Amino acid sequence: MPSTTTPLRGADLHAWLDRPSVVQDLKTYFGVGRPADEMPPVTGGWFEAIDGGGDRPAVADVITAVDVLAVGALSVAIPAPAALDLVDGPVGRRLAALLPQIPVGVDLAGSEVLVVSDDGAAADFWRTVQELKGVGSVTAGKLLARSGPP
């Protein structure tokens, strides 16, 4: 089925980013300046920060229930059977073996070394997540962003 959305052009993105309210909009989204006990008005602002982040040492190489919750904060639903497999099943164990193989602290855009390749750990992670029923490329990418290297 063809997409009904119009592709975003670079000029459109620049116009949006040049709006006078863009800085305040981003602060609102991420909850900058809000009291610590107050939820940000947009749940996506919690994606990286909820429970200390998916890349903190204690959970950096596993998919946790909080990672699944964080993806849900972006309005991306992971079906319950897939979520259970990610957190406590064979797919989750395969992903836990792949995560330590993904380089951390690398500038993907500026690196002279090919870090992301079709046969690398990040691509394997992305493909493995999509093997789950009801999980596609967008969900796989968001889960990798949450649980992969910073």
85-140 residue pLDDT tens:
999 999 999 999 999 988 777 666 666 666 667 788 888 999 999 999 999 999 99
Give the integer Cα–Cα distance in Å for 28 and 122: 31
pLDDT at 31 over 80: no
pLDDT at 1 over 50: no
Q: What is the pTM of this model?
A: 0.74
| pLDDT of amino acid 150 | 63
Give the integer Cα–Cα distance in Å for 59 and 66: 10
Burial class (CB in 10 A: 0-12, 13-18, 19+), 124: middle
61-95 residue pLDDT tens:
899 999 999 999 888 999 999 999 999 999 999 99
Cβ atoms within 10 A of the Cβ of 102, count? 20
Give the integer Cα–Cα distance in Å for 74 and 104: 24
DSSP secondary structure letter of residue 45: G
Q: Across the chain, which distance is largest between two alpha carbons, in Å?
A: 48
